[in-house]
A and B are shown apart, each in its own frame.
Chain A
Amino acid sequence: MIYPEPRYRLAGEQHLLMELGDDVSLVNNLKAIALAKKISNSSELGLKGIKAITDVIPSFTTVLIQYDPRFLVLDGLIEYCNYCWQKLDKIEELTLPSRLIEIAVAYNDRWSKACYQEYCQTIKPIEPNLELVARLNNFKSLEETIAYHSTPEWWVGAVGFVVGLPTLMPLADDFYLQAPKYDPPRMWTPPGTIGVAGSLTTIYPIVIPDGYQMLGRTPVPIFEPKQTLQPFRDSPFLFRIGDRVKFRPICEEEFEAIEQEVKTEKYQYSITTEETFSLKPYLEKKQLVK
Chain B
Amino acid sequence: MFNPTTLTVLESEKNASKPTFEVITGGIETTIQDGWSRKGYLGFGIPPSGPLDKLSFQLGNQLLGNQENTAGLEIQFIGPKLKFLAQTAVVITGANNYPAINHKPVPLWQTLAVRPGDILSFGHPQTGARSYITFAGGINVPALMGSRSTFIKAELGGFQGRSLEPGDIISTFLPYLPLGQIVGQTLPKKMIPEFTHRWVVDILLGPHDDFLTPSDIKQLLNFDWIVSPKSNRIGYRLEGPEFKFTESVRERSARGGYHPSNQIDYGCSIGSVLLCGQTPTILLADCPSLTGYITPCTVINHSLRKVGQARPGDIINFRQVSLEEAIQKYKIATNSTSTNYCLAGYPQRWANQN
A17 CB contacts on chain B under 8 angstroms: 207, 266-267
A255 at the binding interface (Cβ < 8 Å): no
Binds A, one of B102-110, B174-182, B269-277, B343-351: B269-277
**B30-84 residues at the A interface, CB under 8 angstroms:** 39-47
- Which of A9, A15, A70, A235 touches B4 (beta carbons < 8 Å)? A235
Tell me, in angstroms, the Cα distance from A160 to B291 when the chains sit together.
9
Contact A163 B45 (CB under 8 A): yes
Tell me, in angstroms, the Cα distance from A63 to B42 when the chains sit together.
12
Contact A181 B259 (CB under 8 A): yes
Chain B's nearest CB lies how many Å from the CB of A40?
Answer: 9
A82 at the binding interface (Cβ < 8 Å): no
B183 at the binding interface (Cβ < 8 Å): no
Contact B330 A70 (CB under 8 A): yes
Contact B279 A161 (CB under 8 A): no
Contact A56 B330 (CB under 8 A): no
Q: A64-B266, A64-B268 are in contact. Are A180 and B259 (CB under 8 A)?
A: yes
Contact A64 B269 (CB under 8 A): yes
**B150-181 residues at the A interface, CB under 8 angstroms:** 153-156, 161
B247 at the binding interface (Cβ < 8 Å): no
| A136-176 to B contact mask, C-beta < 8 Å, 1/0 | 10000000000000000000001111111101000000000
B327 at the binding interface (Cβ < 8 Å): yes
Contact B290 A160 (CB under 8 A): yes
| B273-317 to A contact mask, C-beta < 8 Å, 1/0 | 000111100000000111111010011110000000000000000
A182 at the binding interface (Cβ < 8 Å): yes
Chain B's nearest CB lies how many Å from the CB of A228?
Answer: 11
Q: A11-B295, A158-B290 are in contact. Are A184 and B266 (CB under 8 A)?
A: no
Tell me, in angstroms, the Cα distance from A205 to B161 when the chains sit together.
16
- Which of B290, B327, B335 touches A13 (beta carbons < 8 Å)? B327
Prevailing SS type, chain A contact patch: loop
Chain A's nearest CB lies how many Å from the CB of B294?
Answer: 10
- Which of B5, B43, B261 touches A57 (beta carbons < 8 Å)? B43
- Which of B1, B207, B276, B300 touches A183 (beta carbons < 8 Å)? B276
B352 at the binding interface (Cβ < 8 Å): no
A14 at the binding interface (Cβ < 8 Å): yes
| B135-155 to A contact mask, C-beta < 8 Å, 1/0 | 000000000000000000111
A178 at the binding interface (Cβ < 8 Å): yes
- Closest residue to A59 on the B side, CB-wise? B266
A107 CB contacts on chain B under 8 angstroms: none
Tell me, in angstroms, the Cα distance from A215 to B301 when the chains sit together.
38
Contact B259 A183 (CB under 8 A): yes
Contact A9 B207 (CB under 8 A): yes
B331 CB contacts on chain A under 8 angstroms: 70
Q: A70-B334, A160-B45, A184-B279 are in contact. Are A227 and B5 (CB under 8 A)?
A: yes
| B217-256 to A contact mask, C-beta < 8 Å, 1/0 | 0000000000000100010010000000000000000001
B194 at the binding interface (Cβ < 8 Å): no
B262 at the binding interface (Cβ < 8 Å): yes
Contact B154 A206 (CB under 8 A): yes
Chain A's nearest CB lies how many Å from the CB of B249?
Answer: 12
Contact B42 A55 (CB under 8 A): yes
- Closest residue to A15 on the B side, CB-wise? B269
The 3 closest A-B pairs by CB, nearest first: A183-B277, A64-B267, A9-B207
The interface of chain B, by Cβ under 8 A from chain A, is 1-5, 39-47, 153-156, 161, 204-208, 230, 234, 237, 256-259, 261-262, 264-269, 271-272, 276-279, 288-293, 295, 298-301, 323, 326-327, 330-331, 334-335
23 contacts between A and B (CB under 8 A): A11-B298, A12-B204, A12-B299, A13-B330, A15-B269, A57-B43, A58-B267, A59-B265, A61-B266, A160-B290, A161-B288, A162-B154, A162-B288, A163-B156, A167-B290, A183-B279, A184-B276, A185-B279, A198-B262, A200-B292, A209-B234, A234-B1, A237-B45
Given A58-B43, A182-B277, A185-B279, list of 15 further CB < 8 A pairs?
Answer: A13-B300, A13-B330, A15-B269, A22-B264, A56-B43, A160-B289, A164-B45, A181-B292, A181-B293, A197-B292, A198-B262, A206-B154, A225-B155, A225-B161, A237-B45
